[in-house]
Amino acid sequence: MPRFEAFRALRYTPELDLAAVCSPPYDVLTPLDRESLASMHPNNIVHIDLPIADEPYIGAATILEQWLASGVLVVDDAPSLTVYRMSFTDSLGNVRQTVGVIGALEVVDEGAGGVLPHEQTTPKAKTDRLDLTRATDANLSPVWGLSMSSALTAALDAPGQPCGSMTDDDGVTHTVERVTDPTRLAAILKCVADHDVIIADGHHRYAISRTYRDEVRSRTNRTDTDAELTLAYINELVEEQLSVAAIHRLYNDITLHNLCAALEESFNIEPAGTLDDNTLQQMDDRRSLCLLLPDKTISLLIPKQVAFVGVRPLDSAYLEHALSATPHTVRYQHGVNEVVGALANGTAAAILIRPVSVAEIRRTATEGLMMPPKSTFFTPKLRTGLVLRKLNTR
């Protein structure tokens, strides 16, 4: 089972407005988003987490040290865990809350168990996150993990020491509470450490932490530095706390004719008018995927069961199987409005897919299975900047 530890958290000084200095995760921000956040406040975390200077990583490290020296960022006096609550209204109008805990999670070797991926990752040639970690010697944004413990939510229920709250542009309230009481710390740590942790979001960040750990081991000849663990948010794998959206597919480098010809082998294609507010419900009712064209016309893709014998009943797996022999380029995009925008900017076609159920995520973990890349999009997104973790590996 994985180690999970308290640490001396790095936080913004209480005098600062968290809504002005925190940001969504780096990998969901557009360049315009980044520009807006950077102009909102000189101490917004994007100045470090998404640096754009001539020497961006050196610049990020310099800013981090300046903020530490000036008191913009302060280190907890003692090791702590941070209870992190997100209160929000889901797409159906239900008021919901997700509660988890931020601590330091063990970085384990691939396949070693304890910390489990739930989906394959796409290749990423960029070394951006690794270069940033090398320069700053810090964990700037947490990996999101799901615990199989059935007692974690109850262990997090008692109030801690309030250390910040903010409401984002989507109306999600983010609240953090510091936990330092030894008895409560021990209870929470045991809940996490007694069960496997499934990576929900941040597979690449976790992989980067493994690479950085190995570099530190090689450089220091030690296996007891801070690089042995990484910043992580862990919450219980229960349906009422998780909101899972779909990540849709965008297709280029293939003609519409060839795309449809490949799909026809595995799906019944039924024209269904134009995209509207009922399309996602229609997909759910018909248990179908949806082909979306730039003019917003749609066709339902109803799987032919004979074509998917032995294939997991996931829309992402169906598409991967159906197009495996057809040359194409695929990109991934959450949000129907964002997909429509991509189509308007030259993408040939898109396929909307349905969200993966929490039950299927649990089955993936318990049976040691893997979903295709970009099968799940967990919402709301954790805020970067609420808790940072400075390492000591020099």
Q: How confident is the model at residue 14 (pLDDT cuts 50, 70, 90)?
A: very high
Asked whether residue 368 is domain-assigned, the answer is no
Q: Is residue 42 situated within a structural domain?
A: yes
Q: Which tens digits make up the pLDDT trace of 178-202?
A: 999 999 999 999 999 999 898 888 8
State mean pLDDT over 4-23: 97
Do 141 and 87 reside in the same domain of the chain?
yes
Which of 210-219, 258-267, 330-339 has the lowest average pLDDT? 330-339
Name the β-bridge partners of 236: 147
Let me know whether 145 and 273 are in one domain. no
Give the CA distances from residue 119 to residues 8, 13, 199, 317, in Å, rounded to whole numbers and listed in that order.
31, 37, 9, 11
pLDDT at 92: 67
State how far the Cα of 390 lies from the Cα of 337, in Å rounded to an integer. Answer: 37
Which one is predicted more confidently, 262 or 376?
Answer: 262
Task: Tell whether the model's pLDDT for residue 123 goes beyond 70.
Answer: no
Same domain as 265, residue 166:
no
Which pair of tokens denotes residue 186? 């021990």
The answer on 159 and 279 residing in a single domain is no
pLDDT confidence band for 165 (50 / 70 / 90):
very high
pLDDT band at 121 (very low <50, low <70, confident <90, very high): low
Range of the domain at 345: 247-354
- Identify whether 67 is part of a domain: yes
Statement to judge: residues 200 and 280 lie in one domain: no
Any idea which of 131-140, 156-165, 380-389 has the lowest mean pLDDT?
156-165
Q: How many residues does the chain have?
A: 394
Q: Are residues 295 and 312 in the same domain?
A: yes
Per-residue model confidence (pLDDT) at position 32: 94
- The structural domain count of the chain equals 2
> Given a cut of 90, is residue 203 above it in pLDDT?
no
Q: What is the pLDDT of residue 126?
A: 62
3-state secondary structure 20-69: HHCECCHHHCCHHHHHHHHHHCCCCCHHHHCCCCCCHHHHHHHHHHHHHH
Look at residue 215 and tell me whether its pLDDT is greater than 60.
yes
pLDDT mean across residues, the chain: 91
* Residue 372 domain-assigned (yes or no): no
**Residue-wise pLDDT tens digits, 68-109:** 999 999 999 999 999 999 999 876 678 889 999 999 999 999
Residue 232 has pLDDT above 90, yes or no: yes
Asked if the structure places residue 112 within a domain, the reply is: yes
Say yes or no: 76 and 93 in one domain: yes
- pLDDT category of residue 65 using cuts at 50, 70 and 90: very high
Which pLDDT score, from 0 to 100, does residue 125 have?
45
Is the residue at 362 inside a domain?
no
Burial readout 106-130 (b: 16 or more C-beta within 10 A, e: otherwise)? bbbeeeeeebbbbbeeeeeeeebbb
Is the pLDDT assigned to residue 67 strictly greater than 60? Answer: yes
Q: Do residues 232 and 251 both lie within one domain?
A: no
Tell me the C-alpha distance between 364 and 369, whole Å. Answer: 5
pTM, to two decimals: 0.85
State the pLDDT at residue 250: 94
> Above 80 in pLDDT, residue 124?
no
159: confidence class by pLDDT, cuts 50, 70, 90? confident
Tell whether 21 and 99 lie within a shared domain: yes
Beta bridge partners of 99: 85
Q: What percentage of the chain carries pLDDT values higher than 90?
A: 71
Is the domain of 230 the same as that of 314? Answer: no
pLDDT in tens, 266-281: 999 999 999 998 999 9
Domain-located, residue 231: yes
Residue 218, pLDDT above cutoff 90: yes
Q: Looking at the structure, do residues 330 and 382 belong to the same domain, yes or no? A: no
Mean pLDDT of 368-376: 77
Q: What is the mean pLDDT of residues 117-146?
A: 84
Same domain, 237 and 259: no
With respect to residue 364, please indicate whether it lies within any of the assigned structural domains: no
CA distance 222 to 216: 8
Of the pLDDT bands very low, low, confident and very high (cuts 50, 70, 90), residue 379 is: confident
